[in-house]
Chains A and B, each alone.
Chain A
Amino acid sequence: MLEPRSFSGGLHPPDLKATADKAIVNLPIPSKVVLHVSQHIGAPARPTQKITDKVVCGQCIAEPGGFVSAPVHATISGTVIGAGNFMHPFGVPSPAIVIERSPDIQEPVYTAEDGLGLPVEEIKKRIQQSGVVGLGGATFPTHVKLSPPETKHIDTVILNGVECEPALTADHRLMLEEPDRIINGLRLIMKVLNSEKGIVGIEMNKPDAIALFTEKFKNEKNLSVQPLEVKYPQGGEKQLIYACLGREIPSGKLPMDVGVVVQNVASAAAISDAVNLQKPLMERVVTLAGNCAAKPGNYRVRIGTPVGDFIEMAGGLKADIPLKKVIMGGPMMGFALFDLNVPIIKGTSGVLCWDETQAKVPVQTACLRCGSCIRACPMGLLPQQMKQLVDHKKWEKVDQIGMLDCIECGCCAYACPAGLPLVQTFKLGKKNVMAERKKSATSKG
């Protein structure tokens, strides 16, 4: 086995992965789904359905709103009962289509073919039509990553099986239970990009997954497993590429600029279905965890299932422990929900149901200038100084010291002994710096 590799900065939050040995359970089909047209980065999809329309599972109900966009598909068969603004997990009302299930409509049956034999253009078309986006949480439309400019050759495809967020185990289980889908997806991506090398990056805390893929790749010349040091945020795209290949993506550039495309392992599996079965992205594996969850585990659920219904179907909440906080995603980068009516979206990797003891809010005290944030930052930034500049609205200065390089991984705020809301400050800072850049660009132009 290869020596584990890493990056500089980062830290070791508690692993909390209590569901790593829980096999994926397929949940029943929900009675209702809420499908937002914005479940990806880029232009929202354009809804094509209206209330009372009958839809079949897998049918496209919202078309891409541009190239950097993705279609949305019905994830259950039934009737459209709502179209308009519904609460998005991000906390804002956003256009969505609500479908109520009609059990009498038949679920479609998909027949398999060998996608690797198809021409590249056909593979790309099928991926684009399936609505696959980055399932690790970033939700960048996959077909865009697979369409680099002709001048940029992608020599290496990296599959992200790191799952460095504490508490999440969905990717881990998928790697153990359905490695062939993932590997097929990797081959398809490599075929589209004409890449020479495929690497699956896995953290050392998943030795079973490393062993399984090493075994699978035993006779492969161009596919390999890269074990990685257990450190957060090892799964950050820039950190992963650096750890696997020693290539550093220049500030403001993309993986393709260093000849690499990174895809999440779950995205690779979805790509395999999209090409071989022509099956759109309709479900995903979600980790349910936290002190309040009665049956923590890994569940395959239809996208659009309201979080409350998902929790109910997956065993519900413990009756005796009051629920305090619900997080969609992981503890480091996930977002807290205020309402369980919001749906599971394409990028939902976990739902954490926390009680009072888990949902502690740090007490804010004065900055000690201890430098913990600087040592923790995997991007080599100066969080302490950035916070001062953002607090004083010095947008130009904070831009100069790398505000937009911040990946919002949360290492600084995790490490801060003064409990300062650094990530919150930087989200605000990034927004303002981008607005400021736009303003100065238009005034010059």
Chain B
Amino acid sequence: MNAISTATTSSVPRLLVTTSPHIQSGLSAARVMWDVNLAMLPALVMAIHNFGLRAALVIGFSVAGAVAAEFLIQKFLLQKPSTLSDGSAVVTGILLAFCVPAALPLWVAFVGGFVAIALGKQAYGGLGQNIFNPAHVARAVLLASWPVYMTTWFKPGQEYGIADAVTTATPLGLLKETARDIQLMEKITAEGGNLIGYVMQKLQITFSDLFLGVNFSGSLGETSKLALIIGGIYLLIRGHISWHGPVAMIATVFAGAFIVGGSLHYALFHLLTGGLIIGALFMITDMVTSPMTNKGHLLFGFGCGAITLLIRLKGGYPEGVCYSILIMNAFVPLIDKFMIPKRFGTSSQETVS
């Protein structure tokens, strides 16, 4: 190469050379995850409002289990740099706690958090690699291992740990129980009532209670639909989730319940109970375990909604959100294979020959 210096300014410091683009949106995995944590705050406040200090303890132990698994596995087993600061283990811990009853023994909550990260995430290779939603994997493990703990519901607003605390049924639990009792159903019909009216009267709740998340029992984070929707809207505004999955799932359950039950009350009851809203807004929108395109999200949401309803109506469990999402998680690679955008320049159209 020629040695002639061509510029008069040669005293320039070493310059940074990278490929384009030279600017970036500034979005990072950590920012997304901490935003999700922030979005769960309203529901967390409602959980503590409903179930007191006990809720904070269950959430704390679940998060501790998740964080411990992330730290220990990365440090000692994989000997990789820790990714704790990206906040994804915290998200998993909180989400799991949101799906368990307040009365869950704290050590079970810790085991759940640990299992979520160890079995649900790190076993697959860490963030971005897992097929199934880690929080739901852990919930399934807990439900299979400690079914009684996982289905013991206490009335909101009382001290925990005392032996004579009053247990209660969840709205969906009572719905299933009632619908199965043929004699009871005949009696309700004979008195001119209906199933939903009976259940709500028995639990002494109204639709606005179900929406606000007060006066009835359920998993920690799923009772207040209002709080969840506030968080969901925040994520939508921040651009971390799209509306496609949530709308498809909720609409499927609502429409399906309306067709089966024949009344708006019945459909609304299915909409506002159980884990549908938390599942639709926080679980199926998990980037890692959901499809990558908006079209894919529509199909994914539809599948989750349909299986949820199927389990609720025909399955052995009163609630089907967790399993429906796990089942649909398995279909994500298939959905990603077919629900892809149209490539520019592949429409069949006339060109000038």
A-to-B contact residues, CB < 8 Å: 9, 11, 13-14, 31-32, 34, 81-82, 84-87, 91, 93, 98, 151-153, 166, 238, 242, 247-253, 256-259, 306-309, 311-312, 322-327, 329, 331-343, 352, 354, 359-363, 365-372, 374-375, 377-382, 384, 402, 405, 408, 410, 413-419, 421, 423-424, 427
Contacts and interface: CB of A to CB of B under 8 A. Distances in A.
Contact of B345 (A13, A253, A421): A253
Contacts of A326: 15
Nearest to B31: A417
8 contacts: A13-B25, A151-B353, A152-B353, A238-B345, A256-B352, A365-B29, A365-B127, A374-B293
A81 B23 contact: no
Interface string B9-48: 1101101111111111101111110000000000000000
Interface in B315-343: 340-343
Contacts of A405: 343-345
Scoring B4, B7, B30 by chain A CB atoms within 10 A of each residue's CB, the highest score goes to: B7
Among B1, B345, B346, find the residue whose CB has the most chain A CB atoms closer than 10 A.
B345
Given A341-B7, A366-B29, A366-B127, 19 more contacts: A9-B341, A9-B344, A13-B25, A81-B4, A151-B353, A248-B347, A249-B345, A251-B344, A309-B8, A332-B21, A333-B20, A336-B15, A340-B10, A342-B6, A360-B24, A369-B128, A369-B292, A417-B31, A427-B19
B23 A414 contact: yes
B9 A366 contact: no
Given A333-B21, A336-B16, A341-B6, A251 B346 contact: yes
A100 B7 CA distance: 12
Interface of B: 1-2, 4-10, 12-13, 15-25, 27-32, 83, 86, 126-129, 287-288, 291-294, 340-347, 349, 351-353
A331 B22 contact: yes
A166 B32 CA distance: 25
Nearest to A312: B9
Nearest to B346: A251
A238 B347 CA distance: 14
Contacts of A85: 1-2
The 3 nearest A-B residue pairs measured at CB:
A410-B21, A371-B292, A308-B7
Contacts of A423: 19-21
A312 B8 contact: yes
Contacts of B294: 375
Contacts of A322: 13
Contacts of B129: 366
A341 B10 contact: yes
Contacts of B6: 32, 34, 82, 86, 98, 306, 341-343
Contacts of B83: 365
A117 to B, nearest CB: 29
Given A365-B127, A402-B343, A417-B29, A370 B292 contact: yes
A93 B1 contact: yes
Nearest to A327: B22
Contacts of B126: 366
Contacts of B351: 250, 253, 257-258
Contacts of A334: 20, 22
Contact of A323 (B12, B22, B31, B349): B12
A338 B345 contact: no
Contacts of B4: 81-82, 86, 98
A87 B252 CA distance: 62
Contacts of B86: 365
B13 to A, nearest CB: 6
Given A248-B347, A331-B22, A408-B20, A366 B352 contact: no
A251 to B, nearest CB: 4
A166 B23 contact: yes
Nearest to A427: B19
B20 A340 contact: no
A377 B293 CA distance: 12
